[in-house]
Amino acid sequence: MNVVSIMAHQDDEMFCLGTLLKCRARGDRLFFITLTDGSKGFVQNPGIERAEAAKIRHEEMTALARAAGAEYINLAEPDEFLMDTPEVRMKLIEAIRAAGADLIFTHFGEDYNLDHTTTHQLVRHCAMHSSLPVLPTASAPLKSHPAIFLIEPHGPIPFAPTHYVDVSACQAEKAKLLMHHGSQEEALRKALGTGLGDLISRASSFRGLQVGCDHAEAFVSMPARGAIKARSVLP
Sheet-wide strand order for 163-166: 71-77, 29-36, 2-7, 103-106, 147-151, 216-221, 163-166
Nearest CA to 130 among 92, 167, 168, 176?
A: 92
Strands 163-166 and 216-221, sheet pairing? antiparallel
pLDDT digits (tens, 9 = 90+) for 6-39: 999 999 999 999 999 999 999 999 999 999 999 9
Q: Is the pLDDT of residue 160 over 90?
A: yes
Radius of gyration over every alpha carbon of the chain, rounded to an integer in angstroms:
17
Contact call for residues 167 and 204 (beta carbons, < 8 A): yes
pLDDT digits (tens, 9 = 90+) for 166-190: 999 999 999 999 999 999 999 999 9
* Cα within 13 Å of Cα(138), Cβ side: 7
DSSP structure string for 182-215: HHHHHHHHHHTS--HHHHHHHHHHHHHHHHTSS-
Contact call for residues 34 and 54 (beta carbons, < 8 A): no
CA distances (Å), origin 70, targets 1, 200, 222? 13, 21, 24
pLDDT digits (tens, 9 = 90+) for 58-93: 999 999 999 999 999 999 999 999 999 999 999 999
- Whole-prediction pTM: 0.97
- Give the DSSP H or E segment for 25: helix 17-25
Region for residue 82 given its phi and psi (left: phi exceeds 0; alpha: psi -120 to 50; beta: otherwise): beta
Q: Is the pLDDT of residue 165 over 90?
A: yes
What is the C-alpha to C-alpha distance for residues 32 and 4, in angstroms, rounded to an integer? 6
pLDDT digits (tens, 9 = 90+) for 107-139: 999 999 999 999 999 999 999 999 999 999 999
Q: What percent of the chain has pLDDT over 70?
A: 100
Q: Is the pLDDT of residue 155 over 90?
A: no
- Give the DSSP H or E segment for 38: none
